[in-house]
Chains A and B, each alone.
Chain A
C-alpha cells in the first residue's frame, strides 16, 4: 500500500530535549515536505526537499532541521524544542514530473502531535 508514515504519532517532551520525528514514503517520490498545523493558522511549510541531499527552507523553518540522506526518508529534527513548537506536524511527498517540477498532489502522513512543556 502506497503511504507516508510518521513516527511517533504522539510525543510529549520538555523544553530543550532534542527530538526527531521520522517520515518515510514508499512511493519513490522525489519531493518531500514538512508542515505544521495550528488552529487559525492552517498548514505552514517548515522545510522541503526536492531530492536526496537537496533541502530548503519553507515559511517557518526557525528551530527545525531536516536531512535527506535517502530518497524514502525525511526526518524532522528539533534540536532544542520550545513550547511554541507545540503543534500537529505533517510530512508530505509527491512525485516529480518529467519536466523536473514536483507534482502538486502531495500525499500526507497521519500526523505527529507534539507537546513541548
Chain B
C-alpha cells in the first residue's frame, strides 16, 4: 500500500534542542495528522491539520500543512526527555467512506538529558 516518506528515520538530540521532521507524499492530501507513540502504547494524536498552509501549535509542538498539499512538517521546540518516542505522520488522501489514513514509517526521537 501507499506510504508517506517521513524523515529523518531517527534523531538523537540533547535536551533543550529544537527538532524538525517532515513528511512528503506524491499525492495531494486533504488532512495531515501527527501522532506520537511511546513504548507499549498506541499512537496518540498530537496535531491535526485540515487546510493547506495551516500552521497549528500544541504547546511546544508546531505543525504545518504544506501549500502544495503534498507535505507537512512537525517542529518540537526546547526538547525535554519526555519527548522521547516515535512520531508518525498520517495523511488522508481522498474522500469516500473509508477515510483511510496513509502512514509514514515514523521518526524515532531520543533525547539526551
A contact set with B: CB distance below 8 Å: 4, 31, 40-45, 48, 50, 56, 58-59, 90, 92, 94, 101-111
Residues of A near B42 (CB, < 8 A) are 4, 90, 92, 108-111
Give the CA-CA distance A102 to B105 in the complex, in Å: 23
Chain B residue with Cβ nearest A39: B105
Interface residues contributed by chain B, number (CB under 8 Å): 25
A109 to chain B: closest CB distance in Å? 5
Let me know if A40 and B100 touch, CB within 8 A.
Answer: no
Known: A43-B88, A59-B1, A90-B42. A105 touches B95 (CB 8 A): no
B66 interface residue per 8 A CB criterion: no
Q: Out of B33, B40, B41, B104, name the residue touching A42 (CB < 8 Å).
A: B104
Let me know if B1 and A104 touch, CB within 8 A.
Answer: no
Let me know if B99 and A101 touch, CB within 8 A.
Answer: yes
B101 interface residue per 8 A CB criterion: yes
B26 to chain A: closest CB distance in Å? 16
B contact set with A: CB distance below 8 Å: 1, 3, 31, 33, 35, 40-45, 48, 88, 90, 92, 95, 97-101, 103-106
In order of increasing CB-CB distance, the 10 nearest A-B pairs are A108-B42, A59-B1, A43-B103, A104-B31, A42-B105, A42-B103, A104-B92, A108-B43, A102-B99, A90-B42
**Interface SS of A by simple majority:** strand
Given A42-B105, A103-B99: 9 more A-B contacts, CB < 8 Å: A42-B104, A43-B90, A43-B103, A45-B100, A50-B98, A59-B1, A94-B99, A101-B99, A108-B35
Residues of B near A103 (CB, < 8 A) are 99
Let me know if A31 and B45 touch, CB within 8 A.
Answer: no
Let me know if A48 and B48 touch, CB within 8 A.
Answer: no
Residues of B near A102 (CB, < 8 A) are 99
